[in-house]
Each structure stands twice: as C-alpha cells, then as structure tokens.
Chains A and B, each alone.
Chain A
C-alpha cells in the first residue's frame, strides 16, 4: 500500500512516515505544494495524507487537481483549522475524510486503513489477526469460523487495536477514538478497562488467544506475529 504524506511541518511529517511505515505502508513524503503536485502527476497512491495550508499553495488546489484528472487516490485532510467550512469544502472537493490537528497517529492509521478498504475493496475487506477474522463491512468478527457477538464499542475497540497491531496505544487515544474528543473523560478511564475486559473474555470463550497486552499505566497493545 502506497501513501503520500503532504505536510510542511518536518517533524510531524517524519512522525507520520515513521508510524505508518511501521504499520506496513510504503510512505513517500513531500513538504510543499510544488513537490506534491509533481508526485501526484507521476504516481498513483492508495491514500494521500494532505495538509491544507502548504507553502506555495493550498491543499484544496491539490484536491481540485485530483478531481479534474479523474484520479482515484483516497485523500484524508489533516488540518489545524477546525472550521466547518473547510471541512465541507474539502469533502465537496472529493476528500474522503478530515482529521483535525492535533491527532493521534493511531487514529490517522485507522482512518487511512478505512479509506483504503473503501477504495480498494469496496469495503468488503476481511481482516485477519491470528485466528480472529474481522468483517469490516458487516461489523462482525469470527473466531475459528464461529461468529462472536460484540457490542458496537467492543468492535470498534478491537478493530482499532488490530489496525494498530504491535503498537502501544495510549488510553487517551482509545478514548478519543471511541468517544470523540468533546467528552470530558480524561480523569476516568475505568470504562475502557471494562470494555477491554469484556472483549478478552469473549475472545477466550470463543477459543481465541488473548493477544491484548496491558501496558501498565499507559494503555494497550495488540500483540500479533
């Protein structure tokens, strides 16, 4: 899977490249508008991570260019502007998703994965993690080909951990992914633990192996080969 990261802040750009590369993506990165246009003209990407404010031009112009040239690259906008207009403009110009800075890299990763699934497999992708098989379209999982009933939150949590497999995911990141960032939950992560506990129980009961590691005080990690 090939990604293009377009972000002018070098440090942030490097972080994204490092994290997404470790997740198995082939990442290319550019720091300005001109280089970005040159890249898209020549190559096709599965997903483009696009900053709006760029030296030399606007990310929206890049969207325009993709649209005019009938390119089918998936695009996720990352912008510091939490303004509705920008969001609407971006989506209207064909962006697939919009992520407001600052964000967790694990969140970016899961959104990129979703875009690629939608674009490449029409959302029909089955993801396997050990003996667990996740149907992202039907929002269900099966272990050893046996269907396992999960609540919506448990499903979201499991998918989040699987997409970010072998990565330490902080409780903050999990809370933000599951409940959004307009909830005041910073001081209370008990219910994340409750969901993890239920998830583990269901996986073990279905004969699966518990691969969720607790990293004390920090968060969780899905250990997969």
Chain B
C-alpha cells in the first residue's frame, strides 16, 4: 500500500468520525439552545398576559398567528406552577403534523379561574435546525473533498524527490567506483534523507574500497613468497648433483606450493564474487566457451579415453566472460576428473539450462554438502575442494539455479538460467 493511500485512509476515517461526532454534539447543543429560546418566548407571553391581567383585571384580547396561538378556558383546576408540554398539532394548511410546545398556566381574573395554554409551533425551530445541519454536512463534504484533492496533488508533488532518490538508489552499485551524489532538497526531511544516504554510501564505498585493496594486497603478500618458492625450486632442479630422492622431495614441495597458490586464488575469487566485484554486463556466447574448453582438454580426454557427447544450441547470455570461463572450466574439470577411464560425459545446452552428466566412479555425492567449501568425497584426490563452491557462487551471483542429482549411475549437474 502506498504511504499516501494509507495516510488518506486514516485521515479520511478520522475526519469523518470527528465530523460525525461533532455534528451530533452540534445538533444536541443547537436543539437545546433553540428549545430554550422557544420556552423563553412562551414564558414572556405568559408574563405579558399576567401583567395585563394585573393592570386591567380582565383578559387581554388575544391575537393568534400561524405559529403561535393562545387558548383560554375556564377551569376549576388550579395549576400550582406553569407547566411545559410537548404536543402534536395538525396543520391543515400545510397538511402535516407539526410538533408544538405548550405552556400551561392558571390565572385568576375577577374571581374566575382560567387555564391558559400558550402554543408555539416547533416547525420554525425544526426548519432552522434542518438547515443548519444541512449546511454543516455540506461543509464537511466540501472539506473532505478539498482535503483529498490537496493531499493528492500536494503530497504527490512533495514525494517526487523521494521517488527520485529511490530510483538513484536502485541504480546504484558500490562497484560503480563512486559514492551516491544525491542533490540538495528544499524540504528538510528529504534533504536529511539524501544527505544521510550520501554519507552512508560514502562510508560503504570506503569500506568496499578498503576490502578490495585488502584482498588484492593479501593476494600480493601471499603470492610473492609462493613465487619465491617456485623460482627457487626451478633453480634447485638445475643442480646436476642432486640425488633422485632429493628431486622427489623438491617436487613434492613444488606440488604443495602450487596447491597453496591455487587454493588461495580460489578463496580470493570466492571473496571477489561475494563482494560482487564482477558486473554481469557482457554478452557471452556460452556454446563457444563450452566447445573451446573441451578443445583445450583434448589431450586430457584422449589420455583417459573418455567419450564426450555434446548437444548445444547457440546461446548468448548477459554474463561476465571471465566468470563464465571459470564456471565451465570447473564443471568440465570435475566431469573429466571423476569419470572412469572409457567413461562417458554428456553435455547439453538449451535456451533454459545447461547440464553436465558423467559416469560415476563410485556412488552419489552427498546432495546437501556437495556445494560446501572444502567438501571432499573420499575419492577426490588432491583438489582444492572449492571448485563446486565457486560454481555455486557464480550461479548465485548470476541468478541461476544449480542442482545436483545422481541417476543411472551418473553425476548430473544442471544449471537453470531462469532467463
């Protein structure tokens, strides 16, 4: 729900509720005031009559109007005090029932007791009340309408810079090599938002740059000693007086150094992928890469007498060339490594997925752990244990799904592109 819709909903409900309550209260107050006024009129009529009787000792001549009239009747009954009464009266002229208010009081004129009733129609009061209520309701409706229109236009306009900011954040990626630069806004809150975002991305960018240079420097610091080891070994091998046993030892040192170097490169790559230091903005021909990688490994495949079947459609994806190469390198390396001599590797590439299946040497891999770092099945030999983890991370970065299954004594790795 939009903030504006939510705000409007609450605002309009509250406004209507307030206005209804207010109107009810207003109605009762008005009713009370008007009734009191009516009574006041009746009472002043009473006083006038009493006054007249005291002065002239006779009843005044009575002038009735349409809304106010007086009836006089002889009565033996004496009201101790004046009494108000509500009653109905049928107005023949207007052909409707009108409610009237009556004031009854007794008066003695020359020994004769009279009961005088002053009647006043409430029609006028009711009309007035109706009118006032009508005007009030009309006003409420108008206020609500204007409120809504103003809110809609004004708030939409006020929020415009906010949406602009959101758009810029959406476009922003920390590897774009600069912090966000949002403009100054005349509205304090939005300006505060922009300023805070600018500051935040600045610090994020600084951290990112620090992390990036750390991983790169760490790589430098690690690879340099490894380069020393390797170069020294190359020199050692040139010494003709070395015994075979010494040579073997030197070579196992070299192997270890090489593995260390590969391991470190793999970890560095994983870190870089996790830091999203690769932008997937190149169009990459997947089929070309797969066929190329197979061609590079012809000797390897031949020496194991593997059979490779490929069924590839032309497919170009928005991807990263280097990452795509690593991805298919690792998939192919695994397939070749874990297929028994004379085994079969089947590679299928369609518009929506790519799958690598190969004959298995042993049973299935543990499905839950196969993509974990340093997961090594017992027959894995001396791999880094990071190949599949890297595959998984690359797929994750690109939004692909990768699934491992084991069917028909074959390992199957299937990647869905979700395009």
Contact = CB atoms under 8 A, between A and B. Distances in A.
Interface of A: 9, 11-12, 15-16, 18-19, 22, 53, 78-84, 100-106, 153, 167-168, 170, 172-173, 179-188, 190-191, 194-195, 215-219
B219 A106 contact: no
Q: Which of B255, B268, B300, B302 has the most CB of A within 10 A?
A: B300
A41 B258 CA distance: 37
A78 B224 CA distance: 10
B223 interface: yes
A109 B121 CA distance: 121
A79 B216 CA distance: 11
Nearest to B232: A15
Contacts of B261: 102
19 contacts: A15-B228, A78-B227, A82-B219, A102-B231, A102-B261, A170-B234, A179-B299, A181-B262, A182-B329, A183-B297, A184-B333, A184-B336, A184-B383, A191-B299, A191-B303, A194-B303, A215-B237, A217-B244, A217-B251
B237 A190 contact: no
A84 B231 CA distance: 24
B336 A172 contact: no
Contact of A9 (B219, B228, B255, B258): B228
B296 A217 contact: no
Contacts, number: 127
B244 A102 contact: no
B123 interface: no
Contacts of B257: 102
A15 B235 contact: yes
Contacts of B303: 188, 190-191, 194
A12 B228 contact: yes
Nearest to B383: A184
Interface of B: 216, 219-224, 226-235, 237-238, 244, 247-248, 251, 254-255, 257-259, 261-262, 265, 268, 296-297, 299-300, 302-304, 322, 325-326, 329, 333, 336-337, 381-383
A16 B382 CA distance: 29
Q: Which of A80, A172, A188 has the most CB of B within 10 A?
A: A80
A187 B255 CA distance: 10
Contact of B382 (A11, A22, A187, A191): A187
B392 to A, nearest CB: 18
A15 B382 contact: no
Contacts of B235: 15, 18-19, 105
Contacts of A84: 322
A80 B234 contact: no
B224 A183 contact: no
A143 B303 CA distance: 29
A9 B262 CA distance: 21
A172 B254 contact: yes
